[in-house]
Structure 1
């Protein structure tokens, strides 16, 4: 900078050398007054010529007309003093001279700290733009997250164009309504930066279009799923849970979940991953879908230790089921039939006894008969009468239908019917007096059926048995139970039912550990444990257990020192991840119904 700024003209006392020009040999020389009139001018005593001190440093060598190289005043000395005024005027009016002056001024401002360098200016402008864009998009993201968390549809009849805080003529959707409310609240709170950023931005950075909304929703999904998968991979061993259902458009949706033991909070988690639409429902295709989806999610297959599905042939088939095809590639992924489904099948099989089956059908017929407007009126009238005149204390108000698939609901239906039986009998006794022969005949038929000894004995048996299985059915649907706890509770129920049946407790013995069992276990999980030391480690662990009161696998994990019993700890962790039921994927079916409704399906 110093060199450029110190280019000055000569002092007034300097004697410029004369140069002879023309035939008359005129002695002409550089004039000192030119330096006052033209601040850009400088004189070189070495070259005895004039230069433009700006163009020397900043002019492009090919900035002349038609990209010709620059010459005098720029890269060569000007010495034709006779033509000085014309040359100087022409030079001052040239574009490259003007550009050189601008570049010098920019350089001078930066060098003297009056202006930031252009790269810093660009960085600052970018940061300002980035901050401004964040103020525009943050309210958009938070609004979308609130809507999605609450299951609220985003778009309305008119959801395009610039956003303003005035009330719209036409409904512009929940998203724009909530976004405007967000901006109003921040302004009322004294922070108008979000609103000002939006008002001063261009129409192409509103971030309110349907495409942007979908991209934000997709980004949120990917972030959440990535965190879930990272947590699963961090804890190593996991099991996959899956079930399928049809959505409102009759598309088969595969619900995928993962079960794992968290080493930090020491709890078992069953976490939903995603819905996957499927068309081919064969076991091989569904198995490949699971593998492809988990691979895409970057889940570590070498730690897959369990599979939990229902008993459908496509899922549980020994040769052509999903579990069989997955075990071809990942043999350690043990298949566990959903315990809740197993319980339902067992109860369903028990209910196939003729007397029990007939009683259940009679209960279904009574519900259908009393579920008509006339039947509901009579039932409600008699129910209110019972509550007023007797010690009838039931808080229930109506009968419940026997659900054909969910046995948990059947338990509740039997409880309600058992409580309401006196009310039903009283109701039928009045309805058989109706003049309508069809109604009175049906009432008489049902009244006769529920007053038989066979029906009442069957009802009492169903009611008593369901008292035991109801809690078990509910318990098996919990997320944080393990197979050890599930089997213990099943054993307790079986023992109790045997006691009711025979009058004494039938104790089902559990096999203790033996050397062969330990050997088989170590061979199966040879990739996870050290086979040479597992037998000794299990013996030490068994001795350690005698001092403790262990009721579940979680208790065992909590009391297992990972450093002292590393192989036992891994086996316990794998055991904790083995699925008990496939209820978690089924729970997501109700979520699917909320997401893909009739209205949303009709608009695509």
Structure 2
């Protein structure tokens, strides 16, 4: 067949080629009118579509790019997979509420701006977890502590960058360290928890723990075991823990240590007695111009030394009320001390092994003893005589008729 054809139209034109004429169904043989024929053919819609199809085919063949149809199909499959993931989260949330006997609405279901109910809250929590998967790269932070049942629990936190470019840290899981607290055991727990939550460990880029041996040891620490499997997961000593260690070292200074000990003892003095706490609150209420709603002292954190700043700020703020309350308590202590001092000797006499009921009957009466001491003191003052230096001399002047209780005690 002699003549010219349009390659793109012959190969990629539509299936129904009726009426396409020269360059497609038949060759172009009249070359005297070739320019006019080619210009008219170039403007036809069939030629434009065929040319685009041919260019897409060349790109796919030479560069591996997908065609428009394949791109649309891939996008459709991606949407289907995304919708399946969302539907799976909804179904799993419903199953969780059913297993745990949790009402879907809870106390109320006010919709937007209010309490959206248990189901919506749990679903939102799952959707927040999905953001970690969408961010792709992430880091992990973990710390272990003993709970009230004296079992080791490890809190797992993931750190990632969300779609808005904000750095976020989200709680992921509580891990029961039932296989021990060695570095190998803890690393296995961390990896299992991350994988169970759908995170790809190949995108783990950082680890943040404290500096204890089972976490930070270069050979047997949890960080070392994870880095051996995933080399891009670099370990960094927790900066907050480093600061905490510096404060701990500073607290070894005697003056600082005494200040913390005194503050802690005063805090315990009030917190262990509702009556003393009530007295403190009364004095706090009398303070004018404080501009604060603080009504009690804050306990000093035992592990996070840096967090103690709030306790010291509260103590400094309420210091006048603390002093006034302690002065009031001290006055009561003086009264109690004098009162108990009257019966100290009587108590010791009653506790002697040789004491019997008859001797106990003849012991001083606590009700008469204060009056005898008062009369005894006044008698010495009236005579302006020097006070006895020892119990033997005092006994010589303690008349059995006037001062029977004092005579018995001496």
TM-score, structure 2 as length reference: 0.49
* Larger relative contact order (CA 8 Å, sep ≥ 6): 1
Give me the TM-score of the superposition, normalised by structure 1: 0.34
